[in-house]
Structure 1
């Protein structure tokens, strides 16, 4: 109606200052002139979300067939403009028919029962015939039926064209896929943090408690050390768990790096001491390279390296037997222009007859370590190596994370 009223005034002025509504041809011309205005306004962003909401509410079109959000390309804007123009153009015709047809139909249906209306010609000579009082109601009912069919047909036409004109474009699908991929990456990151932190803590605490129980009578000093390690491990893990759950609760996937993550510089020695408190011998050889300090490593490399070492120690505690040898060093990369961090951890595998934890599920930790290394462009290898089990990770220290 706003578009039509505007063009009706303009057409009336151009036609010599007449009222365009007094002329059928000028009325149709005003209607035709309003459609380009409708199409132009539909190119603006809010039109598509508004149209999609209307279609979902009134046309019963499945939501997955329609695009969400404003159009991001001219092709999408053009399709949304086409549907908006079709919607308003057909809606204007149905609205005009709805205003004119019902009163006329009621009048025709009332002809046989209202005496004064029987002789009304209403501009049609055949109303004055003897059959007019009986034909008029049928004509009125036919007009109402035609109006109903037109409204239903218009609704089905709009519902049928909505998935084509308001459906997601290739750009929309790409944006949705990127959003899902980003969300999945955040979820995987948080899952790795939970697995590494909680999994290591549970394995270490279990073995520390078992060792303390066995040495309760023979070595009270060892028991006190094991209990202190249990206290320290659980306190750290509760803090990490609370921070990760806070991220999940707040629903802020845009800042995955705010998840708690100790580094080699901050907690490598503590990690090794807590592992030793479980009764496992760990021999560590550390070579930070020319810098002479793990604090000189890039923060993300130091963080991911810590988690990889933690996962290797967890596997050694759960599935290994005997001492663990750990070597961490900074060395020249393959092109000699960049450095890389190498982590090598070996330990004897547990014999099948030993009373060790039976693995019913697993592999997530090693897969998570491989994902961590891949983020930096590195790699992780794990498997039998001679008569020992070996975990080897290589993390480039130059360039950005992938």
Structure 2
């Protein structure tokens, strides 16, 4: 019983009832236009004084309503009502205007059903409750038994009076049942008539994939840029603190490197966050490349006391900008891993060369702990793997027999950059 009562009078049923009442309200202008046609056609001067003529006006108004709903903006307006009042999942209803005639035709069919069911339920909702209330109180108020209310003569009998409250309550339940049934039918048909087409679903999937690709790229940029800066600044500050009294010149160099690192990172962070701020223009700081900042990257890393040897056997100026940019991030992440895992006394070897049309990048440093794992890592290596995959290259990373950690990538010099994976 509780489930039945909830299905008839629960929140979902009430909202769908309101949706039907709105459909009845939308039907009124079309009924008026229909009455203008039915009146002269039947010679009647009072169309609304006859229930059959009212139904005829309603029937004439429905095709007119279908034609008026062919405008593209009819679909988003109806879709908004369906989402709020019919309890239909948002992703099952299209949000944009109808673009094709097929979409417009389905919208017209939906609008006709909405105002058709709505007109019937709205009319019953206006007429039936007062009549049901009279039936319920009829045995108590004798003055209502006359003919002023137009009640049938059967209510003059005692048995009819005794059953009238039951009939009144039953009529209200029947109205609620009809409203709930019509609302459920409209909710079932809404995804069919107002739902996205396969083209809409494909466009939405492509939009989500593009958004995800942008987010993944921003996450990689933030991790590589900010992560490297924090690792470098931490190492530089630690080294400067240890020799604060004994080597002031080194301390000055370390502080200068910290200043330079943080300034550059703030510029890169502004560029990345500018993409995330809705309505804001992206930051103007250019993405670093091997040609523009490889020497600076090595200098800032060495300023913290880290010993770095670099063999650059390729001309950074000759590299395509996308390749130079991604290669810079790979070298930067390799140095960041070395800063975190190799210790400040270890020597980090960086080699950049061109062989067989491939740009080879190797970053190698001694292992300070277990040769089988590097605690705390993982995100940077995944970012490198993503960058290499987008460039169509290969990457290997792991311990070697000589107890070193070796990161080695091969990137095609002329291969087009692949799209982000969906």
Instruction: Give the structure-1-normalised TM-score.
Output: 0.78
* 8 Å CA contact retained: 2:331, 2:363: no
Specify whether residues 194 and 136 from structure 1 end up closer, same or farther in structure 2 by C-alpha distance, changes over 3 A only. closer
CA displacement at 1:92 relative to structure 2: 0.5
The runs of 5 or more residues in structure 1 that have no matched partner are: 334-339
CA-to-partner distance for each residue in 1:115-136, whole Å, 9 max, x for gaps? 5953569495656778776676
Counterparts of 1:229 and 1:205, CA distance in 2: 8
Choose the corresponding residue for 1:392, options 409, 414, 419: 409
The runs of 5 or more residues in structure 2 that have no matched partner are: 1-27
Query: When the two structures are aligned, how many residues end up with a matched partner?
Result: 384
Counterparts of 2:296 and 2:352, CA distance in 1: 16
* 8 Å CA contact retained: 1:276, 1:282: no
1:38 aligns with 65
2:338 aligns with 316
1:330-345 paired onto structure 2 within 5 Å: 333=357, 342-345=359-362
* 8 Å CA contact retained: 2:390, 2:417: no
1:264 aligns with 290
* 8 Å CA contact retained: 2:341, 2:368: no
1:3-402 paired onto structure 2 within 5 Å: 3-15=30-42, 20-63=47-90, 65-71=92-98, 76-105=103-132, 113=141, 115=143, 118=146, 122=150, 126=154, 142-216=170-244, 219-248=247-276, 250-251=277-278, 261-279=287-305, 280-288=307-315, 294=317, 297-320=319-342, 321-329=346-354, 333=357, 342-352=359-369, 359-384=374-399, 387=402, 388=404, 389-397=406-414, 399=416, 401-402=418-419
1:336 aligns with none
Counterparts of 2:285 and 2:68, CA distance in 1: 45
CA displacement at 1:228 relative to structure 2: 1.8
* 8 Å CA contact retained: 1:326, 1:346: yes
CA displacement at 1:307 relative to structure 2: 1.0
* 8 Å CA contact retained: 1:378, 1:396: no
Instruction: Give the structure-2-normalised TM-score.
Output: 0.75
* 8 Å CA contact retained: 1:312, 1:391: no
Cα RMSD of the aligned pairs, angstroms, is 3.8
Task: Say which structure, 1 or 2, has more relative contact order (CA 8 Å, 6+ apart).
Answer: 2
Counterparts of 2:34 and 2:150, CA distance in 1: 31
Counterparts of 1:196 and 1:116, CA distance in 2: 84
Provide the secondary structure at the position in 2 that maps to 1:287. coil
CA-to-partner distance for each residue in 1:250-297, whole Å, 9 max, x for gaps? 1369x8897752122221111111122233132232432xxxx61x54
* 8 Å CA contact retained: 1:203, 1:318: yes
* 8 Å CA contact retained: 1:194, 1:244: yes
Counterparts of 1:259 and 1:179, CA distance in 2: 27
CA displacement at 1:326 relative to structure 2: 1.8
